[in-house]
Chain A
Amino acid sequence: MDTLLVPPDAMQRRPGPLWLLAEVTYRCPLHCAFCYNPVDFAQAGPELSTDDWLKVIREARALGAAQFGISGGEPLVRDDIEILVREARQLGFYTNLITSGVGLTEARLAALKDAGLDHIQLSFQDATREANDLITNTRTFDLKRKVAAMTKAAGYPTVINCVLHRTNIDHLDRIIEMAAEIGAEYLELANTQYHGWAFLNRQALMPSAAQLAEAEAVTERWKARLGKKMRILFVTPDYQTKKPKKCMNGWGEVFLSVTPDGLALPCHTARMLPGLEFPDVRDHSIDWIWHESPLFNRFRGTAWLPATCQSCEDKDKDHGGCRCQAFMLTGDPGATDPVCPKSPDHALIDAALAEAEKPGGARPLVFRDPKNSTRLGRAF
């Protein structure tokens, strides 16, 4: 009986996005060499206005999105974050601020809390220009300690994300200890995903197999010691595990990201892909972008998959892997993700891994800043 109440075209419609990620700015006071932002971010157009963002928030919520993430760059360099959070929260979004903590003052935190911010994720950067690791970069650590104390006092659980790479992974024991000292409830240890600046710096960032094995052992020891007090999530690197991952749970299935200059993307790194038109949120509704735009339909589902994947039993699990990775490594965004051992291009991954086994600790890093961005002028 109920189905009679549903208009026929609505029955055929796919669900809307569940997750809206607002990358509100590419500006950032830090210069992480593992940043996934596009290398040529300095060439992006002007940032969206507050009203543009409010429109995006309302339209995405109307489609059923329930998660609202704010990141960047460093989102706190914008002074309208409170306004966006208030609107999103009022509409029923769960609101999550992803920040380095730089710029988070007591006053700002109080305003965000008042606006209804649900959650703060603090990222633990450490590959800065001044120092390549957390150990020597005490200024960063002091800042995180201060920010964590402040957010905790405001009633937020402390959730820390730390990107692991060749130059900090040997200090993992100390990193976890610091997170525990700070009183973190959750610690996400994410191995670098090689996109944007991280791809540019891949050779300098990729740990050896031995480093990685040691890091996993260290993590297991701390997990056993801390139990429920601090939950640790170790995100394995897909190069080493050779397991392709779905683009953000499937291209155009749950995730919608909007760049600082207003392009809607099915994955936060997709703007590097060639031959695609990225819809501007000022020219199109989120509804049209999600359901109708050629971009969101381009790699949806599995019908478009290359022959290697079409005949594979895992195709529903991983949809052929990451489109950006396929493009960066093979030049073809429609190829099987080379991290898959069945990919005809898998030798590229083995070559990168072999490179990581060559001795030599520190390798030169290109830091993420506007000058390097303009000089290099390419996506990755």
Chain B
Amino acid sequence: MTENTARPAIHRLFRFQWEPAQQAHVLLYPEGMVKLNQSAGEILKRCDGARTVPEIVADLETAFNASGLAPEVEAFLEMADAQNWITWNTD
């Protein structure tokens, strides 16, 4: 599923946004809301359907001055996929 060229995007059933009242990024969906922790929010913010997973990882590593984030990002995306939060652009 997560070949290096696939580009994750937020599933159309969900809306990703910053919620001031929660001081957190959230995913809104019919009759529900998932409140995301900071790293989940930062990852999903970059799931714009244009960037590949390695690009997202590189971007996060630059932004947070960190390295070796790939396993964490991939594990999260796998979970997000299982929850239907994201879809994959492959063309």
A-side residues, CB < 8 A to B, are 15-16, 18-19, 63-64, 66-67, 69, 92, 94, 96, 118-119, 121, 155, 157, 159
A254 to chain B, nearest CB (A): 9
Q: Is the CB of A66 within 8 A of B19?
A: yes
A371 to chain B, nearest CB (A): 33
- If A94-B15, A118-B15, A157-B12 touch, does A16 touch B31 (CB 8 Å cutoff)? no
A-B contact count (CB 8 A): 38
Residue of B nearest to A185 (CB): B13
Q: Is the CB of A67 within 8 A of B15?
A: no
Q: Is the CB of B31 within 8 A of A157?
A: no
Decide yes or no whether B17 CB sits under 8 A from chain A. yes
A93→B12 CA distance, assembly (Å): 16
Residue of B nearest to A228 (CB): B84
Interface on chain A toward B: helix, strand, loop, or mixed SS?
Answer: loop
Residue of B nearest to A21 (CB): B31
Residue of B12, B17, B22, B30 touching A96 (CB-CB under 8 A): B30
- Convert B1-34 into 0s and 1s, putting 1 for each residue whose CB lies closer than 8 angstroms to a CB of A: 0000000000011010101111000101111110
Contacts of A69 on B, CB cut-off 8 Å?
A: 31
Residue of A19, A64, A119 touching B22 (CB-CB under 8 A): A64
Q: Is the CB of A66 within 8 A of B26?
A: yes
- If A118-B15, A157-B12 touch, does A96 touch B31 (CB 8 Å cutoff)? yes
A19→B32 CA distance, assembly (Å): 9
> What are 28 A-B contacts defined by CB distance under 8 Å?
A15-B21, A16-B21, A19-B31, A64-B19, A64-B20, A64-B22, A66-B19, A66-B21, A66-B28, A66-B33, A67-B28, A67-B31, A67-B32, A67-B33, A69-B31, A92-B17, A92-B19, A94-B15, A94-B28, A94-B29, A94-B30, A96-B31, A118-B15, A119-B13, A119-B30, A121-B30, A157-B12, A159-B30
